[in-house]
């Protein structure tokens, strides 16, 4: 029987309270967070602004001390230097030296991790090719677009061939092609054994690449699990019949297969991740709207207010929903 690997990230009862100059508590940013990220998975940490995502990441990186609770990252405390050497981090805003080129930037960071000049040069060539910046390798990053600077930041996060990669809004500023390439890269890294923790407001990106997600709201873990399990609606049932016309659709409830002679498929329909996310973090009975990037946001659409498609009929009851297409 194979031995399961220990979690790459594990927090128990994690709390963070910020205090003012007189040590009076001002904000409790994280409230008793229990979180587990397993080896080799892509894990999405979601939440609206102010939910505690950034604070949690900073505590995982050892940049903030928790008020209470425990953190284990790669089996060690967050401030362990050996563990930190195996972590790659892409912040939401990449702070790059604008006078350096991508090649010089990556060579510099490689030297900080103790790579020889030959090893650094080889790693730099690999990363420039990986993020498609070979054509701009010797241009100063100060003249780069946000998307190109994002690619440099991603390459920098991979310099040390990390075992754990933490990505904060990794596709921010990228065009659709660049976004797709980054998501493909994340999937490839996970297949290669790298554990990825990512945050994103682009829920389509999360749905594309993440194995599991956790949703925070005001520092509290509201939901956690596999995306398919979270989005599945067990109290709804959908039937689909190929080529059903309107007259048959009106009488479909009684004996659908007998009337049409067509194959009927029953399934449990799933809501979109966006709709589920807004439902979880709803405040005062109102769903909070999140701005999606014009290009990337088209993938996920709210199901509210959508009219039935041609040749379809929906029936709702207290226990199930039947859709015939």
Q: What residues contact residue 301 under an 8 Å CB cut-off, 6+ apart?
A: 272, 274
Concatenated DSSP letters for 220-279?
Answer: EEEEEEEHHHHHB-TT--EEEETT--HHHHHT-SS-HHHHH---EEEE--B--HHHHHHH
pTM: 0.76
Domains of the chain: 9-228 (3.40.50.300), 234-268+294-324 (no CATH)
pLDDT at 184: 87
pLDDT at 57: 95
Concatenated DSSP letters for 123-191?
Answer: HHHHHHHHTT-GGGTTS-GGG--HHHHHHHHHHHHTTT--SEEEEESTTTT--HHHHHHHHHHHHHHHH
Q: Which of 258, 267, 284 is nearest to 325 (CA)?
A: 267
pLDDT at 174: 80
What stretch of H or E contains 203? helix 203-209
pLDDT at 259: 63
Cα 285 to Cα 51, 156, 281, 314, 318: the distances in Å are 18, 43, 10, 26, 21
pLDDT at 285: 42
Beta strand 238-241 with 68-73 is unpaired
pLDDT at 279: 76
DSSP reduced 3-state for 105: helix
User: What is the chain's pLDDT, residue by residue, as a tens digit (325 residues)?
Assistant: 555 788 999 999 999 999 989 989 899 999 999 999 999 999 999 999 889 999 999 999 999 999 999 999 999 999 999 999 999 999 988 889 999 999 999 999 999 999 999 999 999 999 999 888 999 999 999 999 888 898 999 999 999 999 999 999 998 878 887 888 888 889 989 998 999 999 988 888 899 899 999 999 999 999 999 998 888 877 766 666 666 666 766 566 556 666 666 666 655 567 777 667 767 876 444 433 333 233 223 333 333 333 333 333 333 333 444 444 3
pLDDT at 253: 54
């Amino acid at each position: 029987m194979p031995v399961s690997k220990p979690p790459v990230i594990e927090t128990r009862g994690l709390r963070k309270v910020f205090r003012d100059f007189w040590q009076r508590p001002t904000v409790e940013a994280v409230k008793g967070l229990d979180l587990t990220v397993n080896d080799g998975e892509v894990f999405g940490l979601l939440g609206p602004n102010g939910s505690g995502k950034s604070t949690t990441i900073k505590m995982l990186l050892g940049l903030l001390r928790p008020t209470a609770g425990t953190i284990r990252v790669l089996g060690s405390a967050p401030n362990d230097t050996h563990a930190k050497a195996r972590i790659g981090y892409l912040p939401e805003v990449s702070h790059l030296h604008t006078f350096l080129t991508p090649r010089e930037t990556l060579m510099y960071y490689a030297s900080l991790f103790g790579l020889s000049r030959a090893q650094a040069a080889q790693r730099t060539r690999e990363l420039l090719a990986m993020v498609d910046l070979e054509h701009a390798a010797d241009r100063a990053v100060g003249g780069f677009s946000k998307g190109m600077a994002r690619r440099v930041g991603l390459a920098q996060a991979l310099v040390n061939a990390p075992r754990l990669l933490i990505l904060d809004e990794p596709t921010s500023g990228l065009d659709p092609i660049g976004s797709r390439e980054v998501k493909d890269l994340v999937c490839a890294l996970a297949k290669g054994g790298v554990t990825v923790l990512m945050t994103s407001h682009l829920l389509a990106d999360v749905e594309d690449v993440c194995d599991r997600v956790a949703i925070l709201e005001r520092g509290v873990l509201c939901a956690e699990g596999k995306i398919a399990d979270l989005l599945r609606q067990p109290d709804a049932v959908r039937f689909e019949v190929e080529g059903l016309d309107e007259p048959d659709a009106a009488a479909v409830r009684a004996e659908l297969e007998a009337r049409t002679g067509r194959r009927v498929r029953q399934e449990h329909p799933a809501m979109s991740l966006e709709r589920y996310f807004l439902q979880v973090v709803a405040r005062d009975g109102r769903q909070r709207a999140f701005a999606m990037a014009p290009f990337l946001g088209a993938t996920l659409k709210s199901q509210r207010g959508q009219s039935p498609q041609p040749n379809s009929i929906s029936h709702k009851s207290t226990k199930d929903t039947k859709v015939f297409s």
